[in-house]
Structure 1
């Protein structure tokens, strides 16, 4: 069984949508270790609402913080300290999708970041969304992962196609494309299932 870690080049690039697609494609379990803000409707709730299969299990957060801020700051407001030893991967005999928070270097505390949650055996999938500066942010993300000795399994582009951007990221970043999500008017179960079927062969080959 594989563990897929979904990270992004920043905030609001589409990590949760990609997590739902991978969860649906592999009928995997889902886990977001640290949730900051939106506790009435978390990313876990969103993934659960977007998938169609009945096999996936949603696992509880290790930390659920009230304020939509960087986890280290949200934790300080809640009067807690995020301890990596308290973030234990859930036990499952199924594939597991783990969604990070923000980008790789989002602080969890004063010493550790989201990057410190990623283990060597994880299949790391980077989500990139096109905007001015996204090439730089994507290449920096890929470089930072590799500087820690982590293998990048692939990249998913999210949003309207931008061939020159996608080409240079793949060439300079030495990364394989798993697929691209179009600028969809609505993200619902049908859309997630469509992309799950499209991406499944590539995900199975990772």
Structure 2
């Protein structure tokens, strides 16, 4: 699901930056033009979102980018976190390093754990801030998977180089190390 569409969809951008074949990418179930949270964008665009239609495919590996944050309403009475609780897929929380990152990251991790949604770890995005990263790890107990600096201009080669320099691919497959799950 994506709202505020102008030009490329997120799926198109991922295809361009990753080089993955089209059959490896799942297109947006809903493409909304109004730049607002999905529940409002759908209402203004005259679209009814059927949450039963939002189901992950049975193939791995799978990366799902949610529309907005965990508490973002997808419909008038169903939020992103409720969808994640239904799916029970391991979550990688992506946190942009800015003022407020500690608070919103800890709140998000607590909300995931409270609903027994498995957390694979946290990925930080932006300029390095060791104190922020360590504080979140120490308080939450979540694994820090790495930090992706801003990449500009953004193209496939620069993104790949940056990702491979900052992350270990094995960490993203290490489901035995989930935090907040029943293992």
Same fold (TM over 0.5): yes
- For residues 106-140 of structure 1, the C-alpha deviation after alignment (integer angstroms, 9 at most, x for no partner) is 11112111112214541200001111111101100
Aligned to 2:101: 134
Q: Is the 8 A contact 2:15 2:21 kept in 1?
A: no
Match of 1:156 among 123, 126, 141: 123
Aligned to 1:57: 24
Alignment of 1:43 with 2:10, yes or no, is yes
Q: Is the 8 A contact 1:107 1:114 kept in 2?
A: yes
Aligned to 1:104: 70
- How many residues matched? 172
SS of 1:49 mapped into structure 2: helix
Q: CA deviation at 1:88?
A: 2.8
Aligned to 2:170: 201
- State how far apart, in whole Å, the 1-side matches of 2:22 and 2:3 are: 27
Q: Give 1 or 2 for the bigger CA radius of gyration.
A: 2
Q: Is the 8 A contact 2:149 2:162 kept in 1?
A: no
| TM-score, normalised relative to structure 1 | 0.77
- State how far apart, in whole Å, the 1-side matches of 2:99 and 2:119 are: 23
Aligned to 1:87: 54
Higher RCO (CA < 8 A, seq sep 6+): 1
Q: CA deviation at 1:55?
A: 7.9
Runs of 4+ in 1 over 4 A off after TM superposition: 53-56
Match of 1:147 among 83, 95, 114: 114
- The structure in which a higher percent of residues are strand is 1
- State how far apart, in whole Å, the 2-side matches of 1:81 and 1:128 are: 30
Q: CA deviation at 1:90?
A: 3.2
SS of 1:108 mapped into structure 2: strand
After superposition, the CA RMSD in angstroms is: 1.8
Gaps of 5+ in 2: 176-183
Q: CA deviation at 1:199?
A: 3.0
- For residues 140-186 of structure 1, the C-alpha deviation after alignment (integer angstroms, 9 at most, x for no partner) is 00011111111211000111101111110111111001111123332
